[in-house]
């Protein structure tokens, strides 16, 4: 049985969490547009198919919320 594919928002969150585990500055202190591009440049997404700013912003907000507790 195949597992269902993750939604794009869930894929983005997983990528942001992974990037955060390796480069905290690249998630917490970077602009949304640059974070989206960073995810594509690091191979989490295709360069011609980066995550949306909405998905990146939601993931970044969640990371910031957790990091500041």
- Residue 1 covered by a domain: no
- Residue 47 covered by a domain: yes
For residue 35, which of 57, 17, 2 has the smallest C-alpha distance? 57
Residue 1 has pLDDT above 80, yes or no: no
| CA–CA–CA angle 69, 55, 36 (5° rounding) | 95
- Residue 59 covered by a domain: yes
- Residue 33 covered by a domain: yes
Cα separation, 18 vs 24, in Å, equals: 10
In this predicted model, what pLDDT tens digit does every residue of 16-67 receive, in sequence order?
Answer: 999 999 988 878 889 999 999 999 999 999 999 999 999 999 999 999 998 8
Provide the residue range defining the domain that includes 40.
Answer: 8-67
Q: How many domains does the chain have?
A: 1
Distances (CA, A) of 17 to 1, 2, 12, 23, 47: 27, 24, 9, 10, 19
């Amino acid at each position: 049985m195949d597992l269902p594919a993750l939604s794009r928002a869930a894929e983005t969150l997983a990528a942001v969490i992974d990037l955060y585990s390796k480069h905290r500055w690249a998630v917490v202190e970077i602009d949304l547009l640059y974070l989206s591009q960073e995810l594509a440049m690091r191979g989490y997404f295709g360069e011609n198919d980066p995550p949306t700013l909405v998905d990146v912003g939601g993931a970044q907000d969640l990371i910031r919320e957790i990091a500041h507790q």
